[in-house]
Chains A and B, each alone.
Chain A
């Protein structure tokens, strides 16, 4: 299973764009990159998933360079309610996802 590395914590202010980068140097050809969000006292929640290039949904964008050794989760115009832990996971259809420690994002007023 590809190991992921992401910053332990990040701070931002309301209205700013936040980019969280995840390194996965050993990503396999058939691996997908998935991001989850977890609020206190709740289970993780799926945000976005991608294989290459760029994926966008109503919540976030995911940028994956051509070598796929890293990925960046982009949260546009964050609000206080985006304060959470964000997990980057890499897996394929033959291996289930393993969670790392995640990135604790704190959005300040």
Chain B
């Protein structure tokens, strides 16, 4: 079974520029998550999709971050404009069920963003 695919693997941008990350979840997984992981910290949930609808975006900085999952499959996360504190690894995960409790999450390898 193919895993969760993310691209790009690395990205370096200047502050105030915009950037987009792409995620393709495991086939058949209805739930997709975006996490932000700052160096030395655990992953922080940014947004959760169930098919193409948003379930939880309470921790998404909506003034600069946006995400979409238009056809209920792959997803993009965008930052515009980027700040220095956005430097982090952005992880995408998917799950068969609405939560990861019974089936677990499968994570991609992430996109490492450096804002200079």
Q: How far is the CB of A109 from chain B (nearest CB, A)?
A: 25
Cα A94 to Cα B97 in complex, Å, equals 11
Q: Which positions 57-109 of chain A face chain B at CB distance < 8 Å?
A: 85, 87, 91-102
Shortest Cβ distance from B95 into chain A, in angstroms?
9
Say whether chain B's binding surface is mostly helix, strand, loop, or mixed: loop
Across-interface contacts of A96 in B (CB, < 8 A): 33, 45, 48, 56, 99-100
A44 touches B44 (CB 8 A): no
> Which one of B11-19, B66-74, B80-88, B102-110 is at the interface?
B102-110
* A interface majority secondary structure: loop
Residues from chain A with a CB closer than 8 A to the CB of B105 are 36, 44, 46, 97
**Interface residues in A, total, Cβ within 8 A:** 24
Residue ranges of B at the interface with A (Cβ–Cβ < 8 Å):
4, 33, 35, 40-45, 48, 56, 91, 93, 97-102, 104-110, 112
A44-B105, A96-B100, A99-B42 given; 17 more Cβ-contact pairs under 8 Å? A34-B101, A36-B105, A42-B110, A44-B43, A44-B91, A45-B107, A93-B98, A93-B99, A93-B101, A94-B99, A96-B45, A96-B99, A97-B99, A98-B45, A99-B35, A99-B44, A101-B41
